[in-house]
Structure 1
Amino acid sequence: MSHFDDSLDELDEVMSYVSTTFSEADAQSLSPRLCPGTPKLPVGETLLSWEANKEWRHPKFYWSDFVDIQVESMLYRVPRAIMQQSENFKTNLSTKNSPISLYVDEITTREMEAFLDVSDARLVTGDDCFTFEQWAGALATANRLGISRIRSYVTQRLQGALNRLDPFDCIDVATKYHVHEWLLQPFIRICERQDPLSPAEVSRLGSERTSAVCRIREKLSAHKFESAITWVDSQWPQEIYVDDEYYTPPPPQWVTMAGALEAARVGEAKRLTELEPVLSKPDFQSPDPQATDDKVPQGMPHPKYWQTDLRTIRVRNCLYQLPIHYFDQPSLLGEIQTHRDSSLGSGDLAMLPHDIVVSDWNIFLDIVTARPFDEPLLSLGFSSWMTGLRLATRFEHDSARRYIIQRIQTDFPTQDLIDLLEAVKIADAAHSDWLQSLYESLSKRNGSLSPEEIRRIGEKATAEVCKLRDQYMWNAGQCGSRNVF
Structure 2
Amino acid sequence: MPEPSSTKSSTPVESKAFPHDEEYYMENIVFLVEGYLFSVPRYYFAHASDIFWSTFSLPPGDGKTQEGSSDSCPFVLEGVSRADFKGLLRVMYPLQMPHLGNDMNLPRKDWIAALKLATMWNFRNIRQLAISKLSLDTGIDPVDKVVLAKEYKVPDWLLAGYHELVKRSTPITPLEAARLGLETTVYLFHVREDVCSSEFAYYSGYKRREDQNFMEQVKKAFKKELKEVEAAHVEYNALPSSYPPVDMTQGK
User: Do the structures match in fold with TM over 0.5?
Assistant: yes
* 2:193 aligned to which of 194, 204, 218: 218
Shift of 1:187: 1.2
Cα distance change, pair 271–37 in 1 and its aligned pair in 2 (3 A): same
Give the 3-state SS of the residue equivalent to 2:140 in structure 1. coil
Larger fraction in strand: 1
Q: Which runs of 4+ in 1 moved over 4 A?
A: none
- CA offsets 1:182-203 (integer angstroms, 9 cap, x no match): 2221211110012233444333
* 1:166 aligned to which of 118, 137, 141: 141
- CA offsets 1:358-411 (integer angstroms, 9 cap, x no match): xxxxxxxxxxxxxxxxx8xxxxxxxxxxxxxxxxxxxxxxxxxxxxxxxxxxxx
RMSD, aligned α-carbons: 3.2
Determine the structure 1 residue equivalent to 2:87: 114
User: How many percent of aligned residue pairs carry the same amino acid?
Assistant: 22
2:118 matches 1:142: yes
Letter in 2 for 1:273: V
State how far apart, in whole Å, the 2-side matches of 1:127 and 1:191 are: 34
- CA offsets 1:135-168 (integer angstroms, 9 cap, x no match): 122222223322121111111111222x422222
* 2:51 aligned to which of 55, 74, 88: 88
Shift of 1:176: 4.2
- CA offsets 1:414-452 (integer angstroms, 9 cap, x no match): xxxxxxxxxxxxxxxxxxxxxxxxxxxxxxxxxxxxxxx
Larger radius of gyration: 1
2:52 matches 1:73: no
2:15 matches 1:36: yes
State how far apart, in whole Å, the 2-side matches of 1:37 and 1:207 are: 64
Letter in 1 for 2:108: F
State how far apart, in whole Å, the 2-side matches of 1:262 and 1:169 are: 19
Equivalent pairs counted in the alignment come to 200
2:186 matches 1:273: no
2:38 matches 1:63: no
Shift of 1:57: 4.0
State how far apart, in whole Å, the 2-side matches of 1:36 and 1:199 are: 66
Q: Which runs of 5+ in 1 are unaligned?
A: 1-34, 39-54, 230-257, 284-374, 376-485
State how far apart, in whole Å, the 1-side matches of 2:93 and 2:16 are: 33
Determine the structure 2 residue equivalent to 1:152: 128
TM-score (norm 2): 0.66
State how far apart, in whole Å, the 2-side matches of 1:37 and 1:160 are: 49
Contact 1:119 1:150 (C-alpha < 8 Å) held by counterparts: yes
2:153 matches 1:190: no
Give the 3-state SS of the residue equivalent to 1:202 in structure 2. helix
Contact 2:26 2:42 (C-alpha < 8 Å) held by counterparts: no
Cα distance change, pair 127–225 in 1 and its aligned pair in 2 (3 A): same
Q: Which runs of 5+ in 2 are unaligned?
A: 1-13, 230-240, 242-252
2:106 matches 1:130: yes
Contact 2:30 2:37 (C-alpha < 8 Å) held by counterparts: yes
State how far apart, in whole Å, the 2-side matches of 1:172 and 1:141 are: 16
TM-score (norm 1): 0.36
Determine the structure 2 residue equivalent to 1:248: none
Letter in 2 for 1:274: K
Cα distance change, pair 64–169 in 1 and its aligned pair in 2 (3 A): closer
- CA offsets 1:182-240 (integer angstroms, 9 cap, x no match): 222121111001223344433333332122212322333322223459xxxxxxxxxxx
